[in-house]
Amino acid sequence: MDKEMGKTEKEPKDHFFLVRTTCFLLGFMNLAPLLFASTAAGYWLYKFRDPSIGSGTTLGMDRTTLQAYYQPVSMVAQQVPSVTMSCLMTVYGHKVPHMRRTLVSLLLFIGLYLLFTLFTQINTDSWQTPFFVVAIFLSMMNSSLAATMQMSTAVLISKLPHEYLMYFLIGQNGAFISTFLQIISLALTDDQPTSGLLYFSSGAILILITLVLTMLSRKTKVFEYYEIEAAKEQHSEMINWAEAKEVIKKMWPCQAVLGLMIMTISTIHPSITTLVVSQNEANHTAWTEKFFTPVCAFLVIEVSAIIGRIMSRKFFITESNKYLYVGLTVLRLFISIPICMLFDAEPRNFPVVFDKDWEFIVFMFIFGFTNGWIWNVSAMSLKTLVPKKQEVAFKLLALTISVFSAITVANGLLAVKVLLI
């Protein structure tokens, strides 16, 4: 950090925005592999439909048990490998250079997405339950690699100046890319297997591009100047308990608001939001059957989250306002969850209060905007709250994400069960 603070006049230029683009894509890859799988809601509905009804996707109250429970079960299953890998990286991460972990994770992601692509062309109608197990297993593998990426890139990015961190954080909310690809693949064909083929293969290509740009960035003067891969930095990844307590005393508000945000998200998105149907569902239009879920449940929340991150870039959690941030985040939790449960998420057994498409869109926009705001402020505030222990702070924040995700892992599954009471 001395280089960042005291030698800014000698900082090398980021030619062609290569390093900034790489930071954005690495941020995107922290969550993108998981989001790619969950965003393909229509594909999973097709795979787990009732084949006896026909080749179309069964929707609304006709949804099968596998359709209703795929998203929440997937979220539950992902947390075991996620927390396990996060803990292993926290304790033993210093034994393997973070850049090597990043590159290996990207390579394995490519292989995993080639498997997803392969399954789009395999008819699984006669063995849906075994395929459900296979899909959940692939999600668990996906999650373990994502956790490794998060812990590795957190250390890497912490050595770069603020502007690069901003690109990284925006990239973490770059899920709109996967949603755009999903919408394009749906627009190009009415056949779900073909749409899935286009979608998952484009995901593999995007991961490959990230891998290539990361390898090119390693050779830049920016990486050399900030000693991204300096051997002497590797041992700083190992955190002892005394050091962790010292850092947590300063950064706990960031962990608290981020944990509360995760608790809210895990309860309603995507477990409940992907079950919400359009007010015109009975008309069986392209909007209701193909585009409503990817646009309203994913694109709206992702675009608004980016807006929230950008607009929050000058706001920080400080000693004077930390309780205000925590209090507002608690209030947000108790407001967001009940409102979301009152939308027309099917199947369900209790009344719907909000059944209009525009109401759902407004809710998702506000929900996404506040998600982006909280996420960005939590991460950016570490540089002011813990200026001398940033690498440790970023590692602890990444661990916080995994731990809170594990604690709240069953929320989405319980929320779906509540709908059926």
Of 63-67, 86-90, 334-338, the range with the lowest mean pLDDT is 86-90
Instruction: Give percent of the chain with pLDDT exceeding 70.
Output: 93
Evaluate whether 159 touches 217 at the Cβ level (below 8 Å).
no
**Prior bond of 161 cis (ω within 30°):** no
Q: Round to the nearest angstrom and report the end-to-end CA distance of the chain.
A: 55
CA dist 399 and 382 (Å) reads: 14
Is 12-419 CATH 3.40.50?
Answer: no
Query: What pLDDT is attached to residue 366?
Result: 98
Q: What is the DSSP letter of 7?
A: -
Query: What pLDDT is attached to residue 72?
Result: 85
Is the four-CA dihedral 115, 116, 121, 123 of positive or negative sign? positive
Residue with tokens 């100047």: 225
Q: What is the DSSP letter of 320?
A: T
Residues 6+ apart with CB under 8 A from 364: 273, 296, 297, 300, 301, 304
**Arithmetic mean of pLDDT over the chain:** 87
Greater confidence (388 vs 263) lies with 263
Q: Name which of 400, 413, 50 is nearest 260 in CA terms.
A: 400
CA dist 100 and 47 (Å) reads: 36
List, for residues 29-45, the tens digit of each pLDDT value.
988 777 788 888 889 98
Query: What pLDDT is attached to residue 58?
Result: 55
In 305-384, which ranges are E strands? none
List, for residues 178-205, the tens digit of each pLDDT value.
889 999 999 999 888 999 999 999 999 9
List, for residues 131-161, the tens digit of each pLDDT value.
999 999 999 999 999 989 988 887 788 788 8
Greater confidence (123 vs 241) lies with 123
Beta-bridged to residue 345, according to DSSP, are: 276
**Residue spans per domain, the chain:** 12-419
Phi/psi at 220 (nearest 5 deg)?
-80, 160
Phi/psi at 276 (nearest 5 deg)?
-70, 135
For residue 343, pLDDT beyond 90: yes
Evaluate whether 174 touches 27 at the Cβ level (below 8 Å).
yes
How many CA within 13 A on the CB side of residue 342? 10
What's the predicted TM-score (pTM) here? Answer: 0.78
Distances (CA, A) of 109 to 127, 141, 206, 412: 26, 9, 11, 26
